[in-house]
Structure 1
Amino acid sequence: MDRLVTNLNKYNIEYEIINHSKKINTAQEGADYFGINIGQTAPTLILKTENGYYALIISGDYGRINFEIIKEMLKVQQVKLAKPTEVEQVTGYKIGSIPLINHGLPVIMDRQLNRFTYVYGGTGISHATLKISPNDIAKLNNVVSYIR
């Protein structure tokens, strides 16, 4: 998490790291824990294509991922969620703890996150959450495409 904080400070990003004793496993658990709209949760999912891996940062209320739209967007034949071992291999982080920034992958970002001033997502550690603006997430990542 030191690298995350260093990067946030380097770019003068307004953020908050919220430590918690309980591991948060779902968007709904995060919304309940922080007392926020489920849409403010921002899970980072790792997608695998024949051209490599991508991070998908979505609003917690997105629902079911439409892989057909993502295939067209990326101009690939196959898109699927990466397996837990692949996620850890390509990012260095376990599923459920993937940080919103510093994962090193091209990003597909959900425009619906921009409904909120702040969203809540991973830090790389299971017992800490990053509160940050969606614009800053976009600024600190290599966003290659947007959904919704």
Structure 2
Amino acid sequence: MTELPDSARRVADAAAAAGIAIDVVQMPDSTRTAEDAAAACGCAVAQIVKSLIFVGAETGRPYLLLVSGVNRVDETGIAGLLGEPLKRPDGKTVRELTGYAIGGIPPIGHPAPMPTVIDETLLTFDTVWAAAGTPRCVFASDPNALKDATGARAYAF
């Protein structure tokens, strides 16, 4: 068995600490996009968790949005939910906030908790797939376990 990269090991450890049983899988090809991940995992694109980082335009506070692979972020709606407009940080800032590079950002295992919103679409599935710290590592999970572990609020994207 291939040894997991350190970033994927951190995700596995965070899942265990949260009481979520996962198996991190390292795919032979990239799972950077929702479409690539769905093809690699053998699931619908809607079952892919896009872990997106935004920051508050007024406060600079980071927010984690767990969005179904078929949906886009309604920034106006999310801004209303969170109480401030949002902006997209650059890749360097994302890595500083999460400890992971864009394309491998997991829903768990960040250095500090962030206010989190989960797409209601994800909650309609028994199993969803999320990045596990690298653009080639993924894991399957019950979406409600991710919701609970992150303290996420559900929202219709």
Per the normalisation by structure 1, the TM-score is: 0.89
Query: In the alignment, is the contact (CA less than 8 A) between 1:15 and 1:131 conserved in 2?
Result: yes
Structure 1, unaligned runs of 5 or more: none
4+ residue runs of structure 1 moved beyond 4 angstroms?
none
Tell me the equivalent position of 1:127: 136
Show the counterpart of 1:79.
Answer: 86
Q: Does the Cα contact within 8 Å between 1:55 and 1:107 map onto a contact in 2?
A: yes
- SS of residue in 1 equivalent to 2:14: helix
Is the CA contact (8 Å cut-off) linking 1:57 and 1:100 kept in structure 2? yes
Give 1:42's match in structure 2, choosing from 43, 46, 49: 49
Residues 93, 10 of structure 1: CA spacing in aligned structure 2 closer, same or farther, 3 A cutoff?
closer
Aligned sequence identity (%)? 25
2:75 equivalent to 1:67: yes
- Distance in 2 (CA, whole Å) between partners of 1:26 and 1:114 is 20
Return the letter of the residue paired with 1:58. V
Give the one of 114, 119, 123 matched to 2:123.
114
8 Å CA contact retained: 1:16, 1:132? no
Q: What CA distance in whole angstroms lies between the structure 2 residues aligned with 1:80 and 1:7?
A: 27
* Matched AA of 1:8: A
Aligned partner letter, 1:93: Y
Query: Is the partner of 2:55 in helix, strand or coil?
Result: strand
The letter for the 2-side match of 1:83 is: D
More strand by share: 1
* TM alignment of 1:16-55, pairs within 5 A: 16-49=23-56, 50-51=58-59, 52-55=61-64
- Native 8 Å contact 2:50 2:67 kept in 1: yes
Counterpart Cα distance in 1 of 2:107 and 2:10: 12
> What secondary structure does 2:100 align onto?
coil
Q: Which amino acid aligns with 1:28?
A: E
Aligned pair count?
145
Counterpart amino acid of 2:10? R
- Structure 1 distance, partners of 2:45, 2:76, is 25
- What residue ranges of structure 2 are gaps of 5+ in the alignment? 1-7
Moved more, 50-59 or 3-12: 3-12
